[in-house]
Amino acid sequence: MGRVFSGVQPTGNIHLGNYLGALKQFVKFQENDECIYCIVDLHSITVPQDPKALRQHILDVAALYIAIGVDAKKSTVFVQSDVPGHAELSWILTCNSYTGELSRMTQFKDKNRGRESAPTGLFTYPILMAADILLYDTNIVPVGNDQKQHIELCRDIAIRINNKYEGTFIVPEGSFLKEGARVMSLDDPTKKMSKSAENPLSRISLLDEPATIKKAIMKATTDSEGSVRFDIENKPGISNLLSIYSAISGKTIEQLEKDYEGQGYGNFKKDLVEVVVDALAPIRENFEQIRYTDELVRDLKAGGEAANEIACKTLARVKDKFGLGL
């Protein structure tokens, strides 16, 4: 039995890429492992946020955790900023990392493209992520494929500190899905599906109505060949839809290619609509039942207390290794 940690930013509605890349794994791990799942609100303020909206989004994400099947009685679910240790450990890790390795992060490059200067928090974001993970002596981190570089940085920092002060941190492993882990935009399959994209039909959100899901899938970019075949380089649009279909249905891409051989994209898209709608319907129903309950807030507060207890023990060990405090 290992300890699992992961988190999601409270920045609006969670989309299918978040679900298939990370959230779907959350439920699987809680059956056999000690799981700690966080709403990482400190990460969200790397860009300006409306305070009232942010608090609502925190509760939205927490309710979605429960709606997809995370059990607050089995797993620890909490809000990042309720545990001060995240920020404290982040500073210690910052003092043991380098600007060169941070400047190589591809997500920072993407978000900073076209700017003369960027918020410091956006630059140091991966260090706070490393602190989130290392604070809980984490063994496994279920995240999307787009986070691989950040997990490697976390491991590098932990190993670097362990080489100076033996036994300071457990070095975690990332857990990544092979198919559907990196869900691409529906209108531009060369880009990752994103909550911030201007076109709402570029993504499918977990709380979307069936009509919205149908419109997004039926309008999804494909190609003129009309052959349901997986080929990322030459057919990125249909390859993306195949990955989504496979990840939700459990069928292999090879099986789906056989099922739709010679049928064109119309039938394939119609069936994909049905698969996605059926998969998301219970999540939407559960969310509506959970979102505005007092129990949700109680679970988050209890989770924060449990997480803080673990965090304090880790920080005491780290500070002792570094000679901090009395």
| Residue 224, Cβ density class (10 Å: 0-12 exposed, 13-18 middle, ≥19 buried) | exposed
Task: Say whether 77 sits in a helix, a strand or coil.
Answer: strand
Q: 28, 148, 195, 319: which is the annotated catalytic residue?
A: 195
Would you state the structure tokens that stand for residue 62, as one six-digit string?
Answer: 């927490």
pTM, to two decimals: 0.89
Instruction: Tell me if 3-181+294-322 shares its fold with 200-287.
Output: no
- CB neighbourhood size of 57 (10 A): 21
User: What count of residues does the chain have?
Assistant: 326
Which is more confidently placed, 92 or 115?
92
Would you state the structure tokens that stand for residue 147, as one six-digit string?
Answer: 């986070």
- Show me where the domains of the chain are located: 3-181+294-322, 200-287
Q: Which of 71, 11, 66, 75 has its CA nearest to residue 37?
A: 75
Q: 24, 111, 214, 269: which is the annotated catalytic residue?
A: 111
Percentage of the chain modeled with pLDDT above 70: 96
Superfamily of domain 200-287 in CATH is: Tyrosyl-Transfer RNA Synthetase (1.10.240.10)
Residue 181 reports pLDDT greater than 60 = no
Provide the pLDDT confidence category of residue 173 given band limits of 50, 70 and 90. Answer: very high
Q: Which of 311, 304, 309 has its CA nearest to residue 58?
A: 304
111 catalytic? Reply is: yes
**Distances from the Cα of 99 to the Cαs of 30, 107, 113, in angstroms?**
36, 15, 17
Is 3-181+294-322 a domain of CATH 3.40.50.620?
Answer: yes
The pLDDT of 92-107, averaged and rounded, is 91
The pLDDT of 60-76, averaged and rounded, is 96
Mean pLDDT across the chain: 92
Q: What is the pLDDT of residue 92?
A: 98
Residue 180 reports pLDDT greater than 70 = no
Which is more confidently placed, 310 or 181?
310
Q: Which of 149, 207, 214, 156 has its CA nearest to residue 176?
A: 149
Q: 192, 214, 235, 269: which is the annotated catalytic residue?
A: 192
Q: Which of 175, 172, 199 has its CA nearest to residue 186?
A: 199
